[in-house]
Amino acid sequence: MDKQTIEKNIKNVLTETNFEGLGEKKVGKVRDSYFTKDRIVMVTTDRYSAFDRILATIPFKGQVLVGTAAWWFEQTKDIIPNHMLEVPDPNVMVGQRVEALPVEIVPRAFLSGVTATSIWTNYQKGQREFGGLKLGEGLKKNTRLKRPILTPSTKFEEHDRNLTPEEIVKEGLMTEKEWDFVSEKSLELFEFGQKTALQKGLILVDTKYEFGKDEKGDIILIDEIHTPDSSRYWFADTFEARIASGEEPQNFDKEFLRLWFKENSDPYKDEKLPDAPVDMVVELSSRYIKIYETITGKEFVYHDEPVIQRIEKNLRNGGYLVE
């Protein structure tokens, strides 16, 4: 999609929803989720958040996230069943309601990351063992690990906390059998994701998986998978050269808009933030669309009607909303 079309849709974005009769509503950073007894209707908005607040709305971002997750769910259902039941609208995924396990599983293939839970941050602080893999001294940032590792962390606590498998079992977050199953499936999913991404010229650096137990007690994959919001991707063709020259890998960069707000305001204190520059919003939208097309191999389909009206119409046609 060209940038002129994106700019024409700069106001055709989904900021929030308020659907009556769809279920109990819970608002997340990006999704508005509606729960009934046996299902969850996840409406993915175009919200772009950082600093614990909404910074901007990015045209087509929600559609990209739903489309990417749906594609990966379909590709990986033979590795582990998932909660996806239907995609009645480009911004909506209907999933099976399950009991979510309180641990996020984060597979990592490189000594990288900037968050408090990342292995590069903790390596710099002196930690040398991660996911059963002992690292040597003097390693540089973005070094490829000998094998992918898993770094589980808490899911429902205010601040993420890294966990060991022993802590997961000891704290009653999972049984040993559940952990063994989830860790095995996480590595299978990550290996498949890496191989598939590489075929498309991308390196899947790290990602996160979430799991839940269905009514039979079986563990399935939930939430999202390998989306540009839950995963980091580097471009494979420039990786070796950039690392050799001491540069950061070329990546799918969403940070430039966050950094603009940091440079032009105090996002933690200012009651009102400046409007995001139109050219930056258009560029970020374009990047989301490009990575969707790269991963799925599909052309991004543009829908020429107000997004909220389209969603309501499709939910009614699907029987999720009634008069």
Q: Which residues, 6 or more positions from 116, have their beta carbon under 8 angstroms from its beta carbon?
A: 159, 160
Comparing CA positions, the residue from 205, 19, 16, 220 lying closest to residue 107 is 205
Distance separating alpha carbons of residues 250 and 185, to the nearest angstrom: 29
pLDDT of residue 253: 85
Count of CB atoms situated within 10 Å of the CB of 4: 9
pLDDT of residue 115: 79
247: three-class secondary structure by DSSP: coil
pLDDT of residue 118: 87
Burial of 144 (0-12, 13-18, 19+ CB in 10 A): middle
Comparing CA positions, the residue from 65, 55, 136, 148 lying closest to residue 110 is 148
Q: What is the pLDDT along the chain (323 residues), one digit of tens a residue?
A: 899 999 999 999 999 999 999 999 999 999 999 999 999 999 999 999 988 899 999 999 999 999 999 999 999 999 999 999 999 999 999 999 999 999 999 999 999 988 778 899 999 999 999 988 999 999 999 999 999 999 999 988 777 788 999 999 999 999 999 999 999 999 999 999 999 999 999 999 999 999 999 999 999 999 999 999 999 999 999 999 999 999 999 998 888 998 999 999 999 899 999 999 999 999 999 999 999 999 999 999 988 899 999 999 999 999 999 86
Distance separating alpha carbons of residues 251 and 205, to the nearest angstrom: 10
Count of CB atoms situated within 10 Å of the CB of 13: 22
The first and second tokens of residue 25, run together, are: 């509503």
Q: H or E stretch including 286?
A: helix 278-296
Of the CA atoms within 13 Å of residue 275, those in its CB half-sphere come to 5
- Domains of the chain and CATH, by start: 3-98+277-317 (3.30.200.20), 100-213 (3.30.470.20)
The first and second tokens of residue 260, run together, are: 């603009």
pLDDT of residue 305: 92
pLDDT of residue 52: 85
120: three-class secondary structure by DSSP: helix
By the 8 A CB rule, do 111 and 133 touch? no
Bridge partners, residue 40, by sequence:
35, 95
Radius of gyration of the chain (CA): 20
Alpha carbon 36 to its chain's center: 24
Comparing CA positions, the residue from 181, 158, 159 lying closest to residue 168 is 181
Q: H or E stretch including 41?
A: strand 39-44
Distance separating alpha carbons of residues 84 and 236, to the nearest angstrom: 30
At 118, give phi and psi (nearest 5°). Answer: -70, 155
Sign of the dihedral defined by the CA atoms of residues 79, 85, 90, 91, in that order:
negative
The first and second tokens of residue 290, run together, are: 């490009």
pLDDT of residue 159: 75
